[in-house]
Amino acid sequence: MPVVRPRARATRPLLLVAALFLVGSWMAAAEITWVHLSSQTRDLPNPAGSNQQTGLLVADLSNGGAADIVISYRVHAPALVWIRRTEKGWDRYVIEKDFIRLEAGGAAHDIDSDGDLDIVFGEDSSGNTLYWWENPAPSFDPNVPWTRHIIKAEGANQHHDQIFGDFKGTGRPQLVFWNQRAKSLFIADIPADPKNVDRWPLEVLYAGQAGEQVEDAAEYAEGLDAFDVDGDGRTDLLAGNYWFTYTDGAFEPVKVGTIGGRIRAGRFKKGDVAQIVIAPGDGSGPLRFYEAHGDPTRASSWRGRDLLDRDMVHGHTLDVADVDGDGNLDIFAAEMAKWTKTPDPADHPGATAWILYGDGSGRFRTTELVSGHGWHEGQLADVDGDGDLDVVNKPYTWNAPRLDLWLNNGTGTSRTGAAKSSRPVRSHLDGDFGFCAKPFHGGEDVECAVLTYARRMH
Ligand SMILES: [Ca+2]
Ligand SMILES: [Ca+2]
Ligand SMILES: [Ca+2]
Ligand SMILES: [Ca+2]
């Protein structure tokens, strides 16, 4: 017996290690079970806008702890519909009851500095106006639209994509937007009293080609992101097939890819310099992963490799985040099924949505979420407030109006232990991302020290 006891003691840690190894292996191999909800099957309210769903904006507009969903339209009123998470499901609110021909894109930021996120959308190729809407929090009424303000109402038409970020290092984010018919990127400081001005001061940040009209790329430039590409601690702008340096008050484009489209940056592997992913957006071409070999401010340093074994056809969905919470950044990319105006038949019946799981060293395990669905501006966000990233999609014209959610292992409890409480939120300060835990039903006790997972790897 004296002999057995020490052996038993020695064996227990070994058994424990073996058990942990098995559990770890199982967790590493476990696939996410995606629970699909759709307005088609009445799991979600029908967004009930028109049959051209242009923009999708996902942001916590209600400070409720779950990502809110806004869809923009351009055939008839209403122009903006908000699908809001409730205790039991989702409700439909109208933000803009009028008929405005809104373009794809949309951005959220606390423009009037009153503690809630306001939103920006612009007119399509038929109009030259860019608007912002004042968030009425906490007074939300499904039938009371938000107050609309003007940012720009002159110059060229079409405003496909907007973003906020402190690209100039002023301490307060600026608005950057594409103005496609001007072939230009504009930047604007937020006015000191935005509710009482009817125009914002605009400057041309860049004018010229940005990866459109080459090979099978889109007709016009699109795509924006905000990320510290060169690792100097300052947020950088990415647009089309470029990222931009900012020195002595001037932005300079650094060409990254051959064709532009949807563009996102992130740290898919260790190091100061980020990697950049480009999908073809409103055109066709590769889903390509770019790494800088040498100085990231030189175009010649950037080299790409294709992530799929075929080109994407109208790859208008691209997002990056840690989908499975393993600490490594992943890629979500998907294709449109329909870009012509009638609801059916599909232009691309084999439209596919992929999740590429990163291994932290720049390699990916490619998986298919679904094929045969129409994707347009699909995004990763925690829509049910349970702390993991779900997939949000609204098609452009395919089956529209329509909204789909893919819940990451259904709706569980928060990984922090506080039921349904944690999600990442966009920082109001620098255009990058902050991470806070918030009570699901609002309240003040925000705990920014509680991290559940990183949307971006810094
Ligand atoms: Ca606000
Ligand atoms: Ca930087
Ligand atoms: Ca991951
Ligand atoms: Ca979730």
Total number of domains constituting the chain: 1
CA of 453 to the centre of ligand 4 (A): 12
Within-domain flag for 242: yes
Within-domain flag for 419: no
For residue 331, give the ligand nearest its CA: 3
What is the residue range of 57's domain? 34-408
CA of 329 to the centre of ligand 3 (A): 5
Query: How far apart, in whole angstroms, are the C-alpha atoms of residue 408 and residue 452?
Result: 14
Handedness of CA 287, 173, 190, 119 (dihedral sign): positive
Query: Angle CA(421)–CA(425)–CA(429) in degrees, nearest 5?
Result: 140
CA of 137 to the centre of ligand 3 (A): 34
Residue 243 three-state SS: strand
List, for residues 421-430, the tens digit of each pLDDT value.
333 333 322 3
Within-domain flag for 457: no
List, for residues 295-316, the tens digit of each pLDDT value.
999 999 999 999 999 999 999 9
CA of 170 to the centre of ligand 4 (A): 34
CA of 205 to the centre of ligand 2 (A): 17
Within-domain flag for 167: yes
The three-state (H, E, C) secondary structure of 340-362, written as one string:
CCCCCCCCCCCCEEEEEEECCEC
pLDDT higher than threshold 60 for residue 438: no
For residue 236, give the ligand nearest its CA: 2
Within-domain flag for 346: yes
For residue 37, give the ligand nearest its CA: 4
Within-domain flag for 277: yes
Q: What is the pTM of this model?
A: 0.86
Q: Per-residue confidence at 419, pLDDT binned at 50, 70, 90? A: very low
For residue 447 the two structure tokens come to 């705990």
For residue 423, give the ligand nearest its CA: 4
For residue 407, give the ligand nearest its CA: 4
**Ligand 3 ion: residues within 5 Å (CB):** 322, 324, 326, 328, 330
List, for residues 252-278, the tens digit of each pLDDT value.
999 999 999 999 999 999 999 999 999
b/e code 134-170 from CB counts within 10 Å (16+ = b)? bbbbeebeeeebbebbebbeeeebbbbbbbbbbbbee
CA of 405 to the centre of ligand 3 (A): 19
Element (H, E) at 207: strand 203-207
List, for residues 323-353, the tens digit of each pLDDT value.
999 999 999 999 999 999 876 789 999 999 9
Q: Phi/psi at 21 (nearest 5 deg)?
A: -65, -45
Q: Count CB atoms within 10 A of the CB of residue 308.
A: 17
**Ligand 2 ion: residues within 5 Å (CB):** 228, 230, 232, 234, 236
CA of 108 to the centre of ligand 1 (A): 9
Within-domain flag for 8: no
Within-domain flag for 453: no
User: Domain with 185 in it: what CATH number?
Assistant: 2.130.10.10
Q: What Å distances lie between residue 447 and 14, 75, 217, CA to CA?
A: 38, 42, 44
For residue 135, give the ligand nearest its CA: 1
